[in-house]
Amino acid sequence: MIAVKTSDVTQDFYNVAERVIQGERVLISFAKNENIIMITESEYNELDKLRENARAELKKSLEALREEAAANGVSDMSIEEIDAEIAAYRREKKAARVV
């Protein structure tokens, strides 16, 4: 990856773009570390597809957790009640190790 200033991109956009097309990623530095990365459209599309797949997997996992929670009667519990159950379980596990 190469890093360039915004002024370099402005002055020599064609050459910077050519490097990106050749497979190089370009970091364009801005003030206050608010930088951007220049990539090809195909690379962006691959990243977008990965992000969408990750979202779909997360959604599937969350749905499975919701179903499991409903099956175990946990879905009606408050966060405080769940925390209390976890704390009690941990105390029981710790007590069992001591004995």
Distance CA 99, CA 97 (A): 6
Cβ contact 12:6 at 8 Å: no
Confidence at residue 24, expressed as pLDDT on a 0 to 100 scale: 93
**How does pLDDT run across 36-92, given as a tens digit for each residue?**
999 999 999 999 999 999 999 999 988 888 888 888 777 777 888 888 888 999 998
pTM tops 0.75, yes or no: no
Look at residue 99 in the predicted model and tell me its pLDDT. Answer: 59
Residue 66 confidence (pLDDT): 82
Quick one: which of 54, 53, 23 has its CA closest to 39? Answer: 23
